[in-house]
Chain A
Amino acid sequence: MLATIGVERLEDLFQDVPASFRFPELNLPPALTEMEAFAEMQDLASANESTHDLVCFLGAGAYHHYIPAAVDAILRRGEFLTAYTPYQPEVSQGTLRAIFDYQSLITSLTGMDVSNASHYDGATAAAEAVSLAYANFRGKRTKVVLSPNLHPHYRQTIHTYNHGSAIEITGEQVDIRMGPKALIPLIDENTALVIVQYPDFFGRIYDHTALVEAAHAKGALVSISANPLALGMLKAPGEFGADIVTGEGQPLGIPLTYGGPYLGIFATRTEYVRKMAGRLVGETVDNRGQKAYVLTLTAREQHIRREKATSNICTNQGLMALASAVYLSLLGKHGLRQVSELCYHKAHYAARQISQLEGYELWNSTPFYHEFVVRCPLPVEEINAYLLENGILGGYDLGQDYPELESHVLLAVTEMNSREEIDLLVETLAEVPHE
Chain B
Amino acid sequence: MRVGLFVTCLVDVVRPEIGFSALKLLERAGCTVEVPTTQTCCGQPGYNSGDAAAGRALAKKVIDEFSGFDYVVVPSGSCGGQIKVHFVELFRDDPDLKARAEDLAARTYELTDFLATVLKIERLESDFRGRITYHDSCCGLRELGVSAQPRQLLALLPGVQLTEMNDRTQCCGFGGTFSIKYGDVSGAIVDEKCRNIRASGAEAVVLGDLGCMLNIEGRLRRTGDETTRVLHVAQVLAGDA
B and A form one assembly: no
